[in-house]
Structures are given as C-alpha cells and as structure tokens.
Amino acid sequence: MTFEKKIRRGLGVFASFSGICLAVVFGLTLAQIYTKKEYDWLTQTALITSGRFDDVVSQSEMVSTLLLSDQNILTAITTLSQIQDIDDDYSSLYFDESYRTVRVGLNNYFTKRQFYRAIFYNENGVVIAGNSKRKDSVDPTVDFNEIHGISGLSYGELTIIPCHLDEWGKNHNQLILSVIKRLVGARMGYIEVQWTESDLTNLLLPADSAYHIFLYNEDGSLLYSSDKEDQTDYFQMISELHPEGGHLSTQKEVVAFTNSQQTHVTTVIVNHMNLSRQLCIQILPGVLLLLTIFFMIAFIYSRYSAQTLTRPIHTLRNVMEQTNLYHMPKITPDTEQYLHSSEEIAALYHSFFTVMERLSDSIEREKKLSVLQLQAQFDLLQAQVNPHFLYNVLNIISAKSIMDTDENENICDICSCLGQMLRYSTNNKEKMGTIRKEKEYLQLYFNLLKYRYEDRLEYCIQIEPDIEEEELPKIVLQQIVENSVTHGYSNTHRPLRITVTGNGRAGCWFLNIHDNGGGFDSDTKQRLELQMTAIKQRLSIDRSQVELEIGGMGLINTYARLFLVYGDDLSFSIRSDENGTDVSIGINVDIENITEDMYNDEI
C-alpha cells in the first residue's frame, strides 16, 4: 500500500470517528441546552406561580389584620362572642350595633374588590358576611361545626381549605378556595376569605395552555388543580426529591415544583410532552446536516492532504539521495516550492541542511582545532615557562644559596615547586585541567612568588569545592596571576594583594582574579577588547588560522584558548582602575549583568 493511500485511509478513519464524536457532542450539547431551557422555564413558572399563591394567602390574611386593627370592630367581635343565645328571629341581630360594625368592616372597598366573599362567624352561631361579587346571599343557619378543616384549629392559626362547593351560599353551586383564620380568644370566632376557582385560574395559570398547575398542602392534599382530568398524584412523585424545589421528566410530561417557605404549599407545574421525542424532533435534523457537511469536507480534505503531503516528501527524498558531505544538489524553483509547501517539510529540509552544515563544519573545525591546540600548547609553554620566569626563579635559588646554610631547605622547596610546575605544564597528554588542579598549580606559583617578594606579597584563594571538578585549559589562572604581578605593580610600590575566588550555581561557574595594582589606562583596555573581538571573529565566523603570540599582557592568549573550548558559552570581562584590576571568567554566566553585591562578594 502506498504512503498516499495510507494517509487517505488514516484520515478517513479519523474523520469518521471525529465526525461521529462531533455529532454526539453536538447533539448532547443541544439536548442539554434545550432540556435546561425547558426546565428553567418550568422552574421559573413554578416560582412565579408559588409567589402569586403566597400573595393570595397574604391578602386573605390581611382581612383579619385590617379588621382587628380597628378598635371598634374588635370591640364588636368581643361583644358578639358573649351572646349566649340567638333568637329564633335571626333578623333581629341584623340591627344590632356590633353586627353592623363588623358588617361594615367586611364590606370595605379592599375586601369587596379582591375577594369573592369575606365571612365572620363564631361558636355562638353569629354569621356576618360581606357582599358577594355574585350576589349570592349567605345562609346563616349553617352549622360552623360542619365546615371542613376548622376543627382543631388553634388560636391565631390559619388554614387553607382545598377547592370545594361553597357551604355558606344558598345555592351551593360555587367552587371556592377558603383561607380561614381563628381569632385569638375564647369563642371569638373565625374569619373566612373565599376565592372562586375561576379567579384563581385567571391569577395563577400561565398564558401557555400547555401548562397545568397543581397546589398541594403539607399533608399532600390537593388544594387546587387546573386540570380536573389528570388524577396523577404529583406530590407522591416528587416527595423523594429535594424538598425546596426541583424538576423531573417522564415519558409523558415534564414536571417542575417548588415549596413555599411562607405557606408551605407545594406548587407543581406540568407540561404534558415527551421530552425525548421533542429533543429528537428539534435536534436530529441539525445533527444529520452537520454530520453530512463534515464528511464531505473530510473526504475532500483527505484527498488534497494526501497529495500535498506525499509530493514534498518525494522531493525531499530525491534531494537527500543526491547529497553528500562535499556536495549539495542544486535546488530549482519548483523543488524549492515543494520543499516549502508546508512547515513540516520545510522544517525537515532545514534540519537536514543544518545537520549537513554542522557535520561539515565539525570536520573542518576539528582539523583547525587540532592545529590550534598544538599552537596553543606551544604558546602556553613559551608564555609560562619563559626565560624571564626561569631567570627570576634561578635568581631566587642563587640568592638563597649565597645566604647561610640554613636556607638550603628553602632552596630544595623552591626546586621542588619549580619541578612540579614544569611537570604539570609540559604534560602533553592532558590538554585540559580541572579547577582543582589549576588551584594546586597556582598554589605552587604563589609559593615561588613568596620566596621572591616575601612579606610584600599577600594572596588568598577561595574557590568553592562544588566547582573544583569543572574543566578549563591548563595554566589559565597562573597566567592571569603572572600578568597581574608583572604588569599590575610595575609602577607602584604598594604591597601585592591578589585574591582568587570562584563559585557556581545551576550548571554554571564563575572565577575572579583581583589585584590591588595600579591597573592600566582606558586605551590599553580598549585595545585588549578589540583584540579579543578580532580573535572571536576569526575563530567563530571567518574560521581562519589564528597565530597566537605572546603579548597583550597574556590575556589574549588566555581568551583565545578559553573561546576555543567554550565558544559562546564563555563570558570574559576585564575591569581596571587605579585601585586594581579584576579579570572574570564565567561559563554560562553573563558577567556584565552580575549584581554589584555578588561582584563585591567575589572580590
């Protein structure tokens, strides 16, 4: 099977799987949104309906509050509660002052406007009713003990009587919902406020006729229903759910409910619909359309992608086959276009070209580096073990020998130090040395200097043990120290104080050589920096042979050898003024940006 067919087959399988997953996710998302919208709408309707019914109960209770807030009405009710017997002629009570006072209170504008009827009655058989909207007069002979729901009602307690036929009306043909409150005090009586079922329906039922309302009392009794034919016990259905409210769905309806904290009445809103079927009707066409469009785009894209990907790969293979270490094939405009037709192929071609360049450069650099290492080794020996240095050491030995025989031991020490230094510096097998060995070699050099300068020389070597195994070209530290002694104190007679410090952190290390000599002027420093820039240019960019020579106070020789080893990871800095000179060497450290506190600590 060709690579193109594999790509097309792989893209086809991926597209099919992705399309199905996308359709499922899209469908589930739409279903979730649609379901949440339906539930939220029903829940909001239930909350609004519950609030409206709470207003019904609050307005009903307000009748009792308004009546009892009037002192005359309260006195009249108290007087009526003390009547022992009512004459056979009930009409005589109609002209009683207390009766008239209560009746006037029941017939106020608020009561007549809001409710179907407001009635006061007590255990003595006194019945006082306000005027009814329907002009249905009250039968005062009704026994209040036969009224459902008031038996066992405590003083001041309020109860809601489910929709029932009006027992007070003479015709007994009106369905009403009653809110009854028992007044506080023995035989004080009851105030009943009535709402017709039709008024409740107009007040509570949403505009959408698809919804139905069911109101349940705390004990699960049905207070009101807008659908008489639906005999489902929704209270039992929702009894196991959250007591404050929620929603559920069955195969036939969607139900939302809420429980009033004020009246403890549970309001249930029902929409008779099959939610699953409705979801399929709403969502399935969109899902199928999306899936069809996706598969068409995926098919076209797979063919185009397979052709686009394979052509550059074939071109790249041809270029690679024609390439060797010493020859790169000529790239035509058409080939260049194919190789850069996509970022991936262009990156592969660039990586291949870069690898070939690095390989070629590495071979060339290795050749030059071998020559440079030999040259550096020769220059190193010439720079460190020069006649002037040997002459100074021999003068020390000669001076010591002329002195008394007690100095013979010092002469042996001097010769021993010189021998160890020569052994280390002339060892051609090891072209690199560790900081620890450089530290030991530097200690030998300081020992020789002490014999010459004695108390005039003070030195300190403080290098952290953590970096002692790091490698650098041999005799770097001694060469810089010798440069300080030779040039830093040529024009001054101050005591020689030289400090060598070093530390490291997180894969990098830092060395600093400080002397308190007279330093050198800005022209000399500028000349050294220009020479180091030229050395870097020739070693890294021009890649030309560098003839290192002794001079430049030994710093150019040191910098060149360090740069050959570390390249751009090397940081080399020189600071000099009348108070002394600092030469800093860092690997993976930006010496120019080292904080002043760290620099002072190093010094």
Residue 570 makes CB contacts below 8 A (sequence gap 6+) with 562, 563, 585, 586, 587
φ, ψ (nearest 5 deg) of residue 573: -135, 145
φ, ψ (nearest 5 deg) of residue 579: -95, 0
- For residue 105, pLDDT beyond 50: yes
Report whether 263 contacts 52 (CB < 8 A).
Answer: no
392-406 tens-digit pLDDT: 566 667 666 666 555
Quote the CA–CA distance of 160 and 322 in Å, as a whole number: 98
- For residue 326, pLDDT beyond 70: no
Geometric angle at alpha carbon 75, from 73 and 76, rounded to 5°: 60
Q: 172-186, 517-531, 581-595: lowest mean pLDDT where? A: 581-595
- In this structure, what token pair is assigned to residue 541? 């960019």
Q: 177-181, 243-247, 327-331, 500-504: lowest mean pLDDT where? A: 327-331
Percent of the chain past pLDDT 70, that is, above it, reads 75
Q: Which long-range contacts (CB under 8 A, 24 or more apart) does 390-398 make?
A: 392/452, 393/418, 393/448, 396/448, 396/451, 396/452
- In this structure, what token pair is assigned to residue 127? 């019945």
Q: How many angstroms separate the Cα of 40 from the Cα of each of 46, 275, 437?
A: 10, 14, 80
- Give the model's pLDDT for residue 512: 95
Residue ranges and CATH numbers for the domains of the chain are: 70-200 (3.30.450.20), 364-602 (3.30.565.10)
Geometric angle at alpha carbon 17, from 12 and 19, rounded to 5°: 90
- Give the model's pLDDT for residue 460: 94
**SS3 state at 416:** helix
Q: Which of 12-16, 21-25, 418-422, 531-535 reaches the highest mean pLDDT? A: 531-535
Nearest to 60 by CA among 172, 155, 179: 179
Q: Which of 135-139, 242-246, 413-417, 476-480 reaches the highest mean pLDDT? A: 476-480
H or E stretch covering 375: helix 343-384
Find the length of the chain: 603
140-170 tens-digit pLDDT: 777 777 777 788 888 989 999 898 888 887 7
Q: Which amino acid appears at position 549 of this protein? A: E
- In this structure, what token pair is assigned to residue 302? 């797979």
- For residue 514, pLDDT beyond 90: yes
126-137 tens-digit pLDDT: 888 877 666 667
Residue 352 makes CB contacts below 8 A (sequence gap 6+) with 316, 319, 320, 323
Task: Tell me the chain's radius of gyration from C-alpha atoms.
Answer: 54
Mean pLDDT, residues 26-50: 82
- For residue 502, pLDDT beyond 90: yes
Ranges assigned E (strand) in 346-465:
432-434, 457-463
Kindly indicate the confidence band of residue 385, based on its pLDDT and cuts at 50, 70 and 90.
Answer: very low
Mean pLDDT, residues 527-539: 83
